[in-house]
Amino acid sequence: IRPLYESAVILYPSSNITEATSLLGETESRTALFGDDDATEKLIQVINSAQVREYLKEKYNLMQHYNIKPGEKYPNTLMKAKMDKYMRCTRTDYGSVKIRVRDRDRVYACNMANDMAARADTIFNNLQREAAMVTLDEISRLYDIQKRLVRQYEDSLMNLSSAAALRLYSTFEMENDYLGLMRGRFLEAQALSRQTLPYILVVDRAVVAEKKVFPKRTVMVLLSTVSVLLLLAMVLFIAEGVKLRRADDRQ
């Protein structure tokens, strides 16, 4: 039986997972540092996602590490079964998230557990930036339209008579105020498309395990005892058979 070592990460989702952000990433609502139950479920889903698993599979060459041959009939199914068996992400009784990784290589177990947490944070940031880029493109288009409109009003005010310009000035002020609002939204979207936010709060990072988690000492003792008893029973059975055969030969 090959020993397995386990390393674990304890983390919480940050409030950035559920809170909307305003200019320069300031949260619109002043809430707790940690995310709510919904944020915890989202974090678990991301950690258990195919993106995280594919990242680990490539980085650690898990096909070779788990001795899965390229010519296997269902290599991806075998890989999924291995990862389901050795990698777990669950919610604790305290509302935190626990990542556990078991491996025959204690350093692999430690590094993969930490990488699962770090990769989840990267995925959340990528999703946020992608969404912000879409918003930025649309706001940038509307901002350019509004700048052209305000410029047209400015030109008209320069060319109109005083009485006509006075009537137009209130409209110009309103459109110019809206231009200022659009500029704020543009800067906000631009900042969100570039910034990196913490989406996880790590309480305990994984460390290299000193002791194996499987098999347990009691299991080994039990297996050894059962093996000795079976061997003893076999010896007694053979001895009894030999004894009976000799008795038959004498008769």
Mean pLDDT by 10 residues, the chain (251 residues): 91 80 48 76 96 97 93 92 96 94 97 98 93 91 94 84 75 92 91 88 95 68 64 71 64 60
Looking at the fold, whether 143 and 51 belong to one and the same domain comes out as yes
Position 44 scores a pLDDT of 96
Position 223 scores a pLDDT of 55
For residue 219, the Cα-to-chain-centroid distance in whole angstroms is 34
Range of the domain at 88: 5-204
Closest CA to 103 of 222, 213, 18: 213
Three-state DSSP class for 165?
Answer: helix
Other CB atoms within 10 Å distance of the CB of residue 20 = 8
Per the structure block, which two tokens stand in for 151? 């410029």
Position 24 scores a pLDDT of 41
Helices (H), the chain: 37-47, 50-59, 62-65, 75-86, 106-159, 162-192, 217-250
Looking at the fold, whether 120 and 17 belong to one and the same domain comes out as yes
Position 227 scores a pLDDT of 66
Q: Distance between CA 159 and CA 165 in Å, rounded?
A: 8
pLDDT one-digit tens code per residue, 72-96: 889 999 999 999 999 999 999 988 9
Looking at the fold, whether 60 and 143 belong to one and the same domain comes out as yes
Position 226 scores a pLDDT of 66
Phi/psi of residue 222, nearest 5 degrees: -65, -45
Count of domains for the chain: 2
